[in-house]
């Protein structure tokens, strides 16, 4: 899932300064699971933001709250149209990930949209309250070659032929809290009996599938609606 965390309240307060009516919009998908932008967090931020505005002497700005199922899909974003029109809102603060913020901006071209979260990474819940990065979305997944541990995401140097000389007792040199990805790869490969895969040097990664050529697009022609073509 996409993992995010909330911006500091003074930063959000300053972003929405100058607007009369602001709608805080939560997202019921990834950011709900990582406790950053779901219905509960929207309620907490709404309350805190209203107080922060009043404490800063701003008694004019109204902050309301709502949460939709998914901010990155038009079908759900459409549900906001009526709400924003009826409420007379002149700005939206999205508690979705960066994709959610931009989906709202595309759907409401005349409305200023502000991000309430800092989108961090694609990751998993490591333990209660702790999320860790697992995937860099490089567009060319080679986990099969590395015993299902991603060196691009989890090795600080992104080495494809590791480990480096700074791997100590299974930890990375940048932090004693960080496992050396290549130690994990080695341990897992040994347990699976596939250590011989590392006899050969791994060639450089093909980054042309990454952010190299600008924003990426995935098209499934068989799923596109006839006559409409892939959406720009």
Contact 30, 135 (CB under 8 A): no
Nearer to other proteins, 53 or 185 (CB): 53
Contact 103, 71 (CB under 8 A): yes
Supply the minimum distance, in Å, between the C-beta of residue 9 and other proteins: 5
Supply the minimum distance, in Å, between the C-beta of residue 29 and other proteins: 21
Computed on alpha carbons and rounded to an integer, the radius of gyration of the chain in Å comes to 22
Residue with tokens 């800092």: 118
Q: Which two tokens stand for residue 172?
A: 């990375």
Nearer to other proteins, 56 or 79 (CB): 56
Contact 26, 42 (CB under 8 A): yes
Residue with tokens 């999205």: 94
Nearer to other proteins, 39 or 187 (CB): 39
Supply the minimum distance, in Å, between the C-beta of residue 113 and other proteins: 23
Q: Report DSSP letters for 172-210, one per residue.
A: ETTEEEEE-HHHHHHHHHHHHT-GGGGGSPPPPP-GGGT
Give the separation between CA 96 and CA 74, rounded to whole angstroms. 14
CB burial of residue 201 (10 Å; 0-12, 13-18, 19+): exposed
Positions touching other proteins (CB under 8 A) are: 8-10, 40, 43-44, 47-48, 50-52, 54-56
Supply the minimum distance, in Å, between the C-beta of residue 51 and other proteins: 5
Supply the minimum distance, in Å, between the C-beta of residue 50 and other proteins: 6
Supply the minimum distance, in Å, between the C-beta of residue 52 and other proteins: 4
Nearer to other proteins, 52 or 122 (CB): 52
CB burial of residue 198 (10 Å; 0-12, 13-18, 19+): middle
Nearer to other proteins, 10 or 229 (CB): 10
Nearer to other proteins, 1 or 9 (CB): 9
């Amino acid at each position: 899932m996409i993992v995010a965390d909330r911006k500091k309240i003074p930063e959000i307060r300053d972003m929405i300064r100058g607007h009369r009516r602001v709608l805080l919009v939560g997202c019921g998908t990834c950011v709900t699971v990582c406790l950053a932008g779901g219905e509960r967090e929207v309620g907490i931020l709404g309350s805190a933001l209203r107080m922060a505005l009043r404490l800063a002497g701003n008694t004019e700005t109204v902050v309301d709250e709502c949460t939709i199922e998914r901010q990155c899909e038009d079908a759900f974003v459409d549900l906001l149209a009526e709400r924003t029109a009826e409420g007379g809102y002149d700005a939206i603060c999205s508690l979705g990930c960066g994709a959610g913020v931009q989906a709202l901006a595309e759907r409401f071209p005349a409305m200023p949209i502000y991000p309430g979260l800092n989108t961090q990474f694609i990751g998993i819940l490591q333990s209660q309250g702790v999320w860790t990065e697992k995937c860099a979305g490089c567009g060319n997944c080679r986990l099969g070659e590395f015993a299902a541990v991603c060196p691009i995401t989890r090795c600080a140097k992104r080495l494809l032929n590791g480990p480096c000389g700074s791997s100590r007792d299974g930890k990375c040199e940048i932090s004693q809290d960080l496992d050396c990805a290549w130690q994990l790869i080695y341990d897992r490969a040994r347990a699976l009996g596939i250590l011989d895969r590392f006899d050969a040097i791994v060639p450089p990664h093909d980054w042309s599938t990454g952010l190299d050529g600008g924003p990426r697009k995935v098209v499934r022609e068989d799923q596109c609606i006839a006559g409409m073509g892939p959406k720009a």
